[in-house]
Chains A and B, each alone.
Chain A
Amino acid sequence: MSEPPHHVVELRDVQLAFPEKKVLNGVSLKVEPLDRLVIMGQSGSGKSTILRLILGILQPTAGEIFFKQFEISRLKRRKLQQVRAQIGMVYQYSALLSSRNVRDNIALPLEELTRKTPTEIDKIVDEKLELVGMLESKYQMPSELSGGMRKRVSLARALVMDPELILFDEPSAGLDPVISSVIDELIISLTEHSKVTSVIVTHEMDSAFRIATRMAMLYQGAVIADAEPEQLKKSDHPVVQQFLSGSTEGPILEGSKDAVATK
């Protein structure tokens, strides 16, 4: 087994193939402490898959994935569950438990994974809800909340165990530009306030440049660019240039079915 890294997350030549498709073809990435790494790429390029690999929900076909000193794919069930408790995840559609109210959704990891008393749990829940500005919705059901509110509750749930790493899957998806900016600001302030490292997956460029301290571009199952936002803007890679400009002319659409639609 190779030497464990000193980064918060490290992916070493990770490959993932499903019977019908090869998704990742040798992805290598390092996430330093307190980084806000944005992973960009086309829809279906495997961005969200990387988050699931970091959580150990999917197993790589080849390669190694480290969270701190732990090699995720080699952990036994119990250890993996302990490691997951140090990672928060905010899902694209929030994934709040629809049968539990906001308070119970946020309290769930505390109730299940710690020995805290109900009073202590309530105090922490209130504190996290206050951070995301949702204290007044404490007893509402997820179905009574708007998309932006659900995202904020999901963020509070991800923060409740004081994780060292938070993973965001398309945090701005389905939100209007104003609410999207609010969520972006919240991600920046909370990650800075809580000293958390984060990995954000998105294909919304405004949001990506607002949040990122580093950006990686995923294309055809591999990372083709990994740099600070300003450096990435200056990249002369044709795929990066086309992706950032949103142009229909360039290598991304070549030979794809989407190219037909543009003609």
Chain B
Amino acid sequence: MAANPSTTPGTAEALVHAPADLVADVGEKSRSLLQEVGSMFWFIINTIGETFDRMRRGRVPFRASSFFLYTERAGVGSVPLVAMVSFFLGLTMALLTGYQLERFGTERLVPGLVAIAFTRELGPLLTGIMLAARIGASFTAELGTMQVSEEVEAIEAMGIGPLRFLVAPRMLALFALMPCLSVVSSLAAIFATALISRAYFNIAFVYFQDLVLHSLLMRDIIMGIAKSFMFGLLIGAIACYRGLTVKGGAAGVGTATTSSVVTAITVVIGFDTLFNIIYIVFFP
């Protein structure tokens, strides 16, 4: 809390001023939060604007090779991690829910439960968190290092739009790859559930497949995929924004990278909650 500079902490005067200081502190933090949200919003708008501006002039906004480089790093490189974590989580979830449901003789519900949970909710959310940590951090550190070594300014000084050249391919790569990775996550978790169902609850693979297909609705799948697109865009935008606004050398890059991961994970979870509330209220 920001203490009133004219008062000494612990004195009676400080205690009198404490509520006002608290309000001032909350106000200051809210102001900087809104400022940050506004800057991020303009950052996304400017990136899209610069990219479309280039396309209007009949030029490709960035090289395909650069886009594929990031999709390979962000997408293909993340498959083992996403698959492994989702597999173990699917395994645990199936085991825990199975043992509980078995008491009521309803262990047949396990395949559907895990399939719905992962396709609609956990797949996109887990993938978002993993990508924010793995790729968001890498994008922030990379762009932050370029920023402190004046590479970004050099690109700007040449007359090349840094948002189009540096940010757009990274954002698009995450936007396009997130749904694919969410599908990988859901498949890995469903596969793990199939193994557990067969081993502990005597549910044959063919029956398991039937149970999953009967319980899954198309709208669950579409909802999961729609969320994934948004998560990709948000993680890409936050990571690049934090990277390009680095100040203060190597320490600044470290701080920005931590902040990028924390912000991206928080925003992904917050956006997911908001999405669920809107979906349940308006499309029950």
Contact = CB atoms under 8 A, between A and B. Distances in A.
Interface of A: 52, 55, 57, 77-78, 80-85, 87, 89, 91, 93, 95-98, 108-109, 111-113, 157, 161
Describe B's contact surface by its main secondary structure. Answer: helix
Given A78-B53, A112-B165, A84 B150 contact: no
Given A81-B160, A89-B158, A112-B158, 15 more contacts: A77-B161, A80-B159, A81-B159, A82-B159, A84-B156, A85-B158, A85-B159, A91-B153, A95-B153, A108-B160, A109-B158, A112-B165, A113-B158, A113-B159, A161-B158
A98 B152 CA distance: 11
Contact of B160 (A77, A89, A113): A113
A157 B159 CA distance: 13
10 contacts: A77-B50, A78-B53, A84-B157, A85-B159, A91-B154, A96-B154, A98-B146, A108-B160, A112-B158, A161-B158
A51 to B, nearest CB: 9
Contacts of A93: 149-150
A108 B161 CA distance: 12
A57 B159 contact: no
The 5 A-B pairs with the shortest beta carbon distances in the complex, nearest first, are A84-B159, A85-B159, A95-B154, A95-B150, A81-B159
A89 B157 contact: yes
A159 to B, nearest CB: 12
A173 to B, nearest CB: 13
Contact of A89 (B63, B149, B154, B165): B154
Nearest to B164: A112
A59 B161 CA distance: 17
Nearest to A105: B154
B72 interface: no
A81 B157 contact: no
A108 B62 CA distance: 12
Nearest to B160: A112
Contacts of A96: 151, 154
A118 to B, nearest CB: 12
B151 A95 contact: yes
Contacts of B53: 77-78
A97 B154 contact: yes
Contacts of A89: 154, 157-158
A161 B53 CA distance: 22
A157 B63 CA distance: 20
Nearest to B152: A95
A258 B154 CA distance: 32
A57 B149 contact: no
B159 to A, nearest CB: 4
Contacts of A109: 158-160
A83 B149 contact: no
B253 to A, nearest CB: 14
A55 B160 CA distance: 12
Contacts of B63: 111
Nearest to B153: A57
Contact of B151 (A85, A98, A161): A98
Contacts of A161: 158
A87 B160 CA distance: 12
Interface in B127-178: 145-146, 149-151, 153-161, 165
A112 B160 CA distance: 7
Interface in B64-100: none
Contact of A55 (B149, B151, B157): B157
A52 B159 CA distance: 13
Contact of A57 (B157, B160, B161): B157
A248 B254 CA distance: 40
A128 to B, nearest CB: 14
Contacts of A82: 159
A80 B159 CA distance: 7
B153 to A, nearest CB: 6
Contacts of B161: 77, 81
A95 B149 contact: yes
A23 to B, nearest CB: 17
A96 B149 CA distance: 9
Interface string B38-77: 0000000000001001000000000100000000000000
B256 to A, nearest CB: 18
A112 B158 CA distance: 10
A56 to B, nearest CB: 9
A96 B50 CA distance: 23
B240 to A, nearest CB: 16
A100 to B, nearest CB: 10
B158 A108 contact: yes
A98 B158 contact: no
A26 B159 CA distance: 27
A198 B18 CA distance: 58
B154 A83 contact: no
A262 B159 CA distance: 44
Nearest to A86: B159
A57 B160 CA distance: 12
